[in-house]
Structure formats: structure tokens, C-alpha cells
Structure 1
Amino acid sequence: MSTVVEHSAKDVLALYRSFLRNASKFGNYNFRSYFLRKTRDTFRENKNITDKEQIDKFFKQSQLDLAILKRQATISQMYHFDKTVVEKL
């Protein structure tokens, strides 16, 4: 028997903002834009979930993904990337 924890809209919004904040830390334009786009798309796809068990599953998986994103953003900051043509100089 699994325990389902109720997550409020405020919790999900805080998680979403954490994703955006950490995705913005990537030095490389391509990685940064990919993770920002992936975050927005993932949360949009799951915004209409009403089943508490599915919300809990999504929230737990998102927390694991956020931990990975944080680690990768930290590693990304250790390296210097030249600006691409599409970035402002």
C-alpha cells in the first residue's frame, strides 16, 4: 500500500520555478534553451492531471529530475562556453 501525499498548486508552482531557475544557470545556450523548453512542455502536458496518485507520481519524478538538473547545471558552470550567434553579445 503506497502513501499518497497531497501536493498543493503552490508546491507544484514552486517546483516549476525551481526547474526554470536551475535551467537558466546553464552556460551553454543550447542546453539552457532545451531545458527551459522541456520544463515548460512537461508541466503543460501534466497541468490537467486531477488524480491525486498521478499528481504524487509526477511530483516525485519531477523532484528526482530536478536533482539531476541541479547537478548538471553546477557542472555546466565549471566550463566556459563561447556565446553563439543567437545570443546577445
Structure 2
Amino acid sequence: MSTAPSTTQVLSLYREFLRNATKFNNYNFKNYFIRRSRDAFNSGKTLKTQEEITNAYTKAQQELEVLKRQSLISRLYSFEKLVVEPLNGSHKK
């Protein structure tokens, strides 16, 4: 049986999720996956047993691979900017 991942490994996985979520070109997809990543890792705080933690970590690694593929596909297509998005990439008032 494998050991539970360390805190450093979990944080690294979380950062990788956020990095890949921000690579989406579409504003709605980008914000959805950022929110989804935060919610998933916050719900993981309640896991107690080593087996639960290991299973959740393994599942998250698999989901990260899917997220990486989808963000790559998203970058192949361009989308028009939405009204809520700044046109030049920065928001200044």
C-alpha cells in the first residue's frame, strides 16, 4: 500500500491545477476551472484516513492530466472577448 502524499506534494498539485486552469482562452472556462480547483482542494481538507487522502490525490492527478489536455485544446481556438474581460489584458481605472 502506498503512503499518503505530503503537504508539499498536495500544494504542488494544487498550483499545477491553477496554472493549467489559467491557460484557457475562454473566460468562462478559465474561471470555472479555477473555482472548481479551489473547491475540490478545500473539500479535501476534511479527509482523515491515509487511504482517503491517497485515493483523492490519485484521482486529482488523473483529473490534472485531463485539464492539461483540455487547456491545450482550448488554446488552439480563439474566442471573442466578453464584455467582462478587459481588451488589453489589464484592467485600469
Fold agreement, TM-score > 0.5: yes
C-alpha offsets along residues 10-37 of structure 1, whole Å, 9 cap, x if unaligned? 0000000000000000000010000000
Among 5, 13, 20, the alignment partner of 1:22 is 20
Query: Which structure 1 residue ranges, 4+ long, deviate > 3 Å from structure 2?
Result: none
- CA distance in 2 between partners of 1:52 and 1:4 (Å): 9
C-alpha offsets along residues 26-55 of structure 1, whole Å, 9 cap, x if unaligned? 000010000000000011111121211000
TM-score (norm 2): 0.90
Contact 1:4 1:52 in 2 (8 A): no
Q: Any idea what SS the aligned residue of 1:47 has?
A: helix
Aligned residues: 87
For structure 1, the residue ranges without an aligned partner over 5 or more in a row are none
Identity rate, percent: 47
In structure 2, the residue matched to 1:62 is 60
Q: Any idea what SS the aligned residue of 1:46 has?
A: helix
Q: What does 1:1-89 correspond to in 2, within 5 Å?
A: 3-89=1-87
Structure 1 window deviating more from structure 2 (41-50 vs 27-36): it is 41-50
For structure 2, the residue ranges without an aligned partner over 5 or more in a row are 88-93
Q: Any idea what SS the aligned residue of 2:51 has?
A: helix
Alignment-mate amino acid for residue 43 of structure 1: F
